[in-house]
Structure 1
């Protein structure tokens, strides 16, 4: 099989895997509505606060017919899947608005938070992790490891509340409730960046140290190759794919919604939307959020695989 056919076969296989995983997730997510003891039609009639008095059985049956819940499970799923393929994920129980519209509105703050936090995390973690590995057991390494340990150990809600108390209540520099603009993003971005950069720094340090302990490094140094050339020409190049994988993982986590941070700082992002949907048992909204999260992870994995093949020819041609 020539190289072109092999690439096409791999692309087709990945596309089929993508569709299969998304189909399975959508099926399992849709099944939640039927596994739950709560009746979606009754929840719809109760509204957001659930305080509407007694609801007659006749009203529930009528609403079930309107929502298509009187049909067999597979028929319901088939209709929902057909609508979902056209971009219609149903109507939110709690807001009475289309799920796609709710996701579109709430994804913007999450995208802003994710992009800024991810860029700062990469700028801090990558050089810190490399420096810590290269200067192993030195004072620089110990300082970096100490601060990264602190960043990992402190829970996100503790750090968020502490920063709110210091900078919003005591110093009155930032609003307690995040507002639009850069000023409202500084504190939540700081919390996400500190925690993400702390974890990524230690992971990158481990990746670089693993490469530095390989026999090819010692062999190159014994042949007279400079340490700088070995580091930048071989070690960092061989570490690029594992580091890229770590970055993709954090991207998926952040795009799924930083639930705790968004709740603490009252940011109307996807994380806060998910919490509210679960609280109100908003099944269609929960299904939409799970599908969004799954889609994000799958797309990021595909992009990571594609970039990894560009970086490492062994992955590209399946020789590894």
Structure 2
């Protein structure tokens, strides 16, 4: 158990180092010059500034140095807790991100809660009543939810509920009303997949030998479901919960932008448009850390909830 824990921690460190290197490399190779964008004010007017001014800005930010020098300088600063300053606002990057983490977490947790509240019961019911009316309705819902992109469903809901009916604000101000539409969009997108996945997991368990044996012994269906099927189906469902929480945290950029939700996703879109590399790198690293942390906790929960994993069943002795 201790050996597995150490190996997991080592794997986490390796993954995080890989994330820092890949994110820095991709931005380094990206077209465009952030120093030139900053000096020209983003208007592309080539005749108003000199090349010397642009070069001076590159030197100020350290962009004139070789790749590995830039990377290790940046990595060393991060290890000391210094993420640098935003190229456009000159504020510390941690301040830029810190004010956006809260709204994104609120949106993600709310969307995950509603998704679980809807998807798990419906997925179980669809498995119990396979090919019945409810199962067919959920299939249609899943097909539509997966087929319709989030930006389209966001615009449709915004137009109908905010503009036509005037029930909800067009521009979110961070309150409960402003949370309803973005949570609805994220819930539709993920519930469409989650319901089918829970259904498949439960059906797989219901086809196992131990279920047929319990039925032959005369065990009631409700006891089989709650004492056996759901108990064994819970572990893969926990994995799905971890995956979707990461999806909510990192994949809500379009939804946050459309609904003016002041979160990490909207900040990332703005930073990409401004070529604000320190902010982009910090956001990628933050999302990477969250993904790794969630997966680590899911892996740890397996060891705590499943004695076979905790005891290392199946390993060579």
In structure 1, what is the Cα distance between the partners aligned to 2:84 and 2:308?
45
CA contact (8 A) 1:168 1:175 kept: yes
Change (3 A) 1:68 1:147: closer
- The aligned counterpart of 1:180 is 174
The more displaced of 279-288 and 291-300 is: 279-288
Q: 2:226 aligns with which of 207, 222, 232?
A: 232
- The aligned counterpart of 2:116 is 122
- The aligned counterpart of 2:37 is 43
- The aligned counterpart of 1:3 is none
Structure 1: runs of 5+ lacking an equivalent:
1-6
In structure 2, what is the Cα distance between the partners aligned to 1:190 and 1:52?
45
**After superposition, what is the alpha-carbon deviation per residue over 1:79-104, rounded to whole angstroms, capped at 9, x for unaligned?**
11111112222222232222221111
Mapping for residues 108-147 of structure 1, pairs under 5 Å: 108-147=102-141
- The aligned counterpart of 1:242 is 236
In structure 1, what is the Cα distance between the partners aligned to 2:251 and 2:96?
14
Say what the alpha-carbon RMSD is for the aligned residues: 1.8
Paired residue total: 314
Change (3 A) 1:71 1:169: closer
CA contact (8 A) 2:174 2:261 kept: no
Structure 2: runs of 5+ lacking an equivalent:
none
The more displaced of 49-58 and 97-106 is: 49-58
2:72 is aligned with 1:72: no
Change (3 A) 1:38 1:154: closer
CA contact (8 A) 1:129 1:202 kept: yes
Change (3 A) 1:41 1:165: closer
**Normalised by the size of structure 2, how large is the TM-score?**
0.93
In structure 2, what is the Cα distance between the partners aligned to 1:180 and 1:37?
35
In structure 2, what is the Cα distance between the partners aligned to 1:298 and 1:234?
31
- The aligned counterpart of 2:160 is 166
In structure 2, what is the Cα distance between the partners aligned to 1:98 and 1:49?
25
**After superposition, what is the alpha-carbon deviation per residue over 1:59-112, rounded to whole angstroms, capped at 9, x for unaligned?**
233222222233332222221111111222222223222222111112222111
In structure 1, what is the Cα distance between the partners aligned to 2:212 and 2:43?
67
CA contact (8 A) 1:94 1:282 kept: yes
Matched position secondary structure for 1:267:
coil
Q: Which runs of 4+ in 1 moved over 4 A?
A: 48-53
Change (3 A) 1:33 1:169: closer
**Normalised by the size of structure 1, how large is the TM-score?**
0.92
Q: 2:288 aligns with which of 271, 291, 294?
A: 294
Matched position secondary structure for 1:190:
helix
